[in-house]
Amino acid sequence: EVQLVESGGGLVKPGGSLRLSCAASGFSLSRLSVNWVRQAPGKGLEWVASISSRSSYIYYTDSVKGRFTVSRDDAKNSVYLQMNSLRAEDSAVYYCATTSPFIYYAMDVWGQGTTVTVSS
Protein backbone atom coordinates (compact mmCIF):
# COMPACT_ATOMS: atom_id res chain seq x y z
CA GLU A 1 0.00 0.00 0.00
CA VAL A 2 1.27 3.45 -0.94
CA GLN A 3 1.35 5.67 2.11
CA LEU A 4 3.10 8.46 3.96
CA VAL A 5 3.33 8.46 7.74
CA GLU A 6 4.21 11.58 9.70
CA SER A 7 5.55 11.49 13.24
CA GLY A 8 7.30 13.71 15.74
CA GLY A 9 4.52 16.08 16.69
CA GLY A 10 3.75 17.03 20.25
CA LEU A 11 3.48 19.78 22.84
CA VAL A 12 6.39 22.21 22.98
CA LYS A 13 6.95 25.54 24.72
CA PRO A 14 7.37 28.76 22.73
CA GLY A 15 10.96 29.01 21.55
CA GLY A 16 11.36 25.25 21.55
CA SER A 17 12.16 22.81 18.76
CA LEU A 18 10.63 19.75 17.16
CA ARG A 19 11.67 17.49 14.31
CA LEU A 20 8.91 16.03 12.18
CA SER A 21 9.44 12.94 10.05
CA CYS A 22 7.61 11.78 6.95
CA ALA A 23 8.24 8.15 6.04
CA ALA A 24 7.08 6.60 2.81
CA SER A 25 6.10 2.97 2.31
CA GLY A 26 5.03 1.14 -0.81
CA PHE A 27 6.93 3.53 -3.08
CA SER A 28 10.21 5.42 -3.34
CA LEU A 29 10.48 9.10 -2.52
CA SER A 30 13.81 9.53 -4.25
CA ARG A 31 12.50 10.98 -7.52
CA LEU A 32 9.68 12.98 -5.98
CA SER A 33 9.34 16.41 -4.46
CA VAL A 34 7.85 16.44 -0.98
CA ASN A 35 5.88 19.26 0.59
CA TRP A 36 4.91 20.14 4.12
CA VAL A 37 1.44 21.65 4.50
CA ARG A 38 -0.09 22.73 7.79
CA GLN A 39 -3.58 23.39 9.06
CA ALA A 40 -4.19 25.40 12.19
CA PRO A 41 -7.21 24.37 14.28
CA GLY A 42 -10.41 25.23 12.41
CA LYS A 43 -8.48 26.93 9.60
CA GLY A 44 -7.54 26.21 6.01
CA LEU A 45 -4.47 24.70 4.42
CA GLU A 46 -1.14 26.51 4.30
CA TRP A 47 1.87 25.38 2.27
CA VAL A 48 4.98 25.48 4.47
CA ALA A 49 7.98 24.03 2.63
CA SER A 50 9.07 21.93 -0.33
CA ILE A 51 12.13 19.85 -1.14
CA SER A 52 12.80 18.53 -4.61
CA SER A 53 14.53 15.31 -5.57
CA ARG A 54 18.24 15.31 -4.72
CA SER A 55 17.48 18.41 -2.60
CA SER A 56 18.11 20.50 -5.70
CA TYR A 57 15.43 23.01 -4.76
CA ILE A 58 14.23 23.91 -1.28
CA TYR A 59 11.56 26.51 -0.64
CA TYR A 60 9.84 27.91 2.44
CA THR A 61 6.91 30.16 3.13
CA ASP A 62 8.09 33.52 4.48
CA SER A 63 6.79 33.00 8.01
CA VAL A 64 9.08 30.01 8.65
CA LYS A 65 12.23 31.08 6.80
CA GLY A 66 15.24 30.99 9.10
CA ARG A 67 13.37 28.86 11.65
CA PHE A 68 12.39 25.67 9.76
CA THR A 69 14.67 23.39 7.75
CA VAL A 70 13.48 20.66 5.41
CA SER A 71 15.77 17.77 4.52
CA ARG A 72 15.58 14.27 3.09
CA ASP A 73 17.27 10.91 3.46
CA ASP A 74 16.50 8.81 0.42
CA ALA A 75 18.22 5.79 1.94
CA LYS A 76 15.60 5.89 4.70
CA ASN A 77 12.85 6.90 2.26
CA SER A 78 12.05 9.82 4.52
CA VAL A 79 11.78 13.59 4.65
CA TYR A 80 12.17 15.75 7.74
CA LEU A 81 11.08 19.16 8.97
CA GLN A 82 13.27 20.64 11.69
CA MET A 83 11.30 23.37 13.45
CA ASN A 84 13.16 25.78 15.72
CA SER A 85 12.11 28.92 17.59
CA LEU A 86 8.53 27.72 17.58
CA ARG A 87 5.71 30.20 18.08
CA ALA A 88 2.09 29.79 19.12
CA GLU A 89 1.05 30.49 15.53
CA ASP A 90 2.96 27.40 14.38
CA SER A 91 0.42 25.21 16.19
CA ALA A 92 -1.24 23.06 13.54
CA VAL A 93 -1.60 19.64 12.04
CA TYR A 94 1.38 19.15 9.75
CA TYR A 95 0.93 17.02 6.65
CA CYS A 96 3.55 15.83 4.21
CA ALA A 97 2.51 15.33 0.60
CA THR A 98 4.29 14.25 -2.55
CA THR A 99 4.08 15.83 -5.96
CA SER A 100 4.64 14.10 -9.24
CA PRO A 101 5.48 15.47 -12.69
CA PHE A 102 2.93 13.01 -14.08
CA ILE A 103 0.13 15.06 -12.55
CA TYR A 104 1.66 18.47 -13.15
CA TYR A 105 3.08 18.62 -9.62
CA ALA A 106 -0.22 18.58 -7.75
CA MET A 107 -0.05 16.97 -4.29
CA ASP A 108 -1.29 13.44 -4.80
CA VAL A 109 -0.21 11.34 -1.81
CA TRP A 110 -0.78 12.75 1.67
CA GLY A 111 0.05 11.49 5.13
CA GLN A 112 -2.47 11.45 7.95
CA GLY A 113 -0.81 14.39 9.72
CA THR A 114 0.95 14.99 13.00
CA THR A 115 -0.17 17.61 15.51
CA VAL A 116 2.14 20.32 16.81
CA THR A 117 1.01 22.39 19.77
CA VAL A 118 3.12 25.35 20.89
CA SER A 119 2.02 26.51 24.31
CA SER A 120 3.49 27.40 27.67
Binding residues for another protein, rule: CB under 8 A, are 35, 37, 44-47, 50, 59-62, 95, 97, 99, 103-108, 110-113
Question: CB 27 → another protein: shortest distance, Å?
Answer: 13
Residue closer to another protein, measured from CB, 75 or 79 = 79
Residue closer to another protein, measured from CB, 51 or 83 = 51
Distance, in Å, from the CA atom of 36 to the CA atom of 38, rounded to the nearest integer, reads 7
Distance, in Å, from the CA atom of 99 to the CA atom of 107, rounded to the nearest integer, reads 5
Residue closer to another protein, measured from CB, 13 or 65 = 65
Question: CB 109 → another protein: shortest distance, Å?
Answer: 8
Question: CB 75 → another protein: shortest distance, Å?
Answer: 26
Distance, in Å, from the CA atom of 20 to the CA atom of 7, rounded to the nearest integer, reads 6
Question: CB 117 → another protein: shortest distance, Å?
Answer: 17
> What single-letter DSSP state applies at residue 104?
T
Residue closer to another protein, measured from CB, 18 or 64 = 64
Q: Are 79 and 22 in contact (CB under 8 A)?
A: yes
Q: How far is CA 83 from CA 14, 28, 40, 69, 105, in A?
A: 11, 25, 16, 7, 25
